[in-house]
Structure 1
Amino acid sequence: MDAERLCAYCVSHADTLKASKAVSEAVLQLKDLYAVRARLLRHKAAHSQHLSALKRSEDKTVYAALEQGLRPAIEGLKKSIQKIETAIKELIAGNEALDTRYRLLLSVPGIGHVTAVYLICCTNNFSEAVSGKSLACYAGVAPFGKQSGTSIRGRARVNHMANKELKKLLHQGARSVVVHKEEFRSYYERKKAEGKHDLCVLNAIKNKILLRVASVVSKGRKYEEKLPVAA
């Protein structure tokens, strides 16, 4: 039934539908490496949490025996993660298109190595024009208002149909720039003083980060941080 409906839709809209660009071999490899990295990190976190729980619940003798079995697995996962990270960096460095986008993304405050790699994977290395608004919608950080008729209006909310992994990475980036970047710290403090909720302000900062991402990619020029005006 799904196949029939998709086919009917394609036939009825054949004059307006446009084929997406094929995902490059390099991006496919990067996606595979990122997926393996994420899987290894989950396993490492699970073993580490289990070991921590055992330390609290078991006596020292039992814990020492259990640690002998789990500790080598954790160390092995750490080494595997390091090898995957090296492979990711080598793949990017060896591909001009990937390396160019990667360096542009890293110039944006709040975008680190992992977030830059993930954005490249999500957008097929920005093979098509991507606006800041579309990125914000995709990451679930763009607020949408609710309105019924002309009188009933609800508070603007973000859509829960979003890429949760990207949203999580952006949250970490937003927390970082609030601490380390004067521009974002002053914005955060000003909005908090106005009575805005912490998560609401952070959401706005995530939006600002993505707007800068779209800007540097479209212009092909690294982000130039605005220096604070001297008093």
Structure 2
Amino acid sequence: MFIRSGKKVHVVLPNTSKHYFSSLNVKTKTDAVDARILSQFGVERVHKLWSPPPGALLQLRNLTRYYVQLQEQKTALGNIKHSKDCSYDIQIFITKSNKKLISEIDKEIEKCLKEIKKTILEDKVLKERIRKVLTIKGVGLITAATIIAETMGFDQFHSSKQLVSYSGYDVVQRESGTSIKGKTRISKKGNRYIRNALYFPAMVACRHNETLKETYIRINRNNKTSKMISQVAIQRKLLVLIYTLWKNDTEFIENYQRGSLDPKTETTQDSSVAELL
């Protein structure tokens, strides 16, 4: 609505404005105070101009998010079914109703998947670029579609570091002198749909993607406390790899080595792909 009326729109992260409030030591919270501080925040700081996302990617994001929400509902109903199956003297109505709901959600999931495929196929450029992303072993259609849609084709990202932080894979350390030495972890302050989409692909890549499999084994060898650490590392590598292929508009080449390609058959492979792995 603001774009159509010719107004400029700036969108900032909620934690950015929150930290600004904290820096001013504002203790009172009312609508009037919030409006005044936000106005001051808008005038004092330089904010990036917001632009509306492309129609196809916006539709794809709506569909992939709805797909995840349907899957979550199915999981919740599956948990109910399991609890009822293990309970004593449950009415037949409850079990039948639960099975019916699961069946209906399965149908909606199938319809949603068809809509996702249809949206991709209708855009020739999007279809071709996603095809190239799917050359990575372990990455499926839903994973690729979710990541591309959630990042809007990586349009606002200028480095893999930005992408990693946006997705919540950035490392958080808590150390101070000799008295405080907290556990290193990822922040998880980012897009949960991206992390959700990369969970199972990382498990597949650890088994069938030879290069990532070597990385997974090496991290496990050095860190024997938890295999989840190596799983998260593979998720992060997959994300950065997808970003690199998309930005360079190229396919994944397993065991790629710099200078080993025949220029007649491959001309657009960036050396950064090899460095990522």
TM-score bracket relative to the smaller structure: 0.7 to 0.9
Distance 2:151 2:223 in 1: 36
- TM value normalised by structure 1: 0.82
> Contact 2:173–2:184 (CA<8 Å) still a contact in 1?
yes
Gaps of 5+ in 1: none
Partner of 1:212: 241
Specify the code of the residue in structure 1 equivalent to 2:60. Answer: L
> Contact 1:98–1:125 (CA<8 Å) still a contact in 2?
no
Distance 1:2 1:122 in 2: 29
Q: Secondary structure at the match of 2:185?
A: strand
**Given the alignment, which residue of 30, 38, 55 partners 1:25?**
55
**Given the alignment, which residue of 78, 89, 103 partners 2:117?**
89
Q: Secondary structure at the match of 1:47?
A: helix
Gaps of 5+ in 2: 1-32, 258-277
For CA contacts below 8 A with separation 6 or more, give which structure has more relative contact order.
1
Cα deviation, 1:178-203, whole Å, max 9, x if unaligned, reads 12222222222222222343122222
> Contact 2:147–2:197 (CA<8 Å) still a contact in 1?
no
Q: Does 2:215 match 1:183?
A: no
Distance 2:100 2:108 in 1: 12
Distance 1:98 1:209 in 2: 19
Q: Does 2:222 match 1:222?
A: no
How much does 1:147 deviate? 5.7
**Given the alignment, which residue of 28, 41, 50 partners 2:80?**
50
Distance 1:195 1:33, change over 3 A: closer
> Contact 2:71–2:109 (CA<8 Å) still a contact in 1?
yes
**Given the alignment, which residue of 186, 201, 208 partners 2:230?**
201
Specify the code of the residue in structure 2 equivalent to 1:111. Answer: V
> Contact 1:132–1:212 (CA<8 Å) still a contact in 2?
no
5 Å-filtered alignment, 1:66-215, equals 66-146=94-174, 156-196=184-224, 197-215=226-244
Cα deviation, 1:19-61, whole Å, max 9, x if unaligned, reads 13311222222222223322322222222221221111134xx
Q: Does 2:43 match 1:11?
A: yes
Distance 1:71 1:189 in 2: 41
Specify the code of the residue in structure 2 equivalent to 1:203. Answer: V
Distance 1:18 1:160, change over 3 A: closer
Specify the code of the residue in structure 1 equivalent to 2:38. Answer: L
RMSD over aligned Cα, in angstroms?
2.8
The farther-off stretch of 194-203 and 83-92 is 194-203
> Contact 1:21–1:127 (CA<8 Å) still a contact in 2?
no
How much does 1:63 deviate? 5.2
Matched-pair identity in %:
25
Distance 1:187 1:35 in 2: 30
Distance 1:215 1:187 in 2: 18
Q: Secondary structure at the match of 2:86?
A: helix
Q: Secondary structure at the match of 1:226?
A: coil
Aligned residues: 224
Cα deviation, 1:86-108, whole Å, max 9, x if unaligned, reads 01110111013432332233223
How much does 1:83 deviate? 0.8
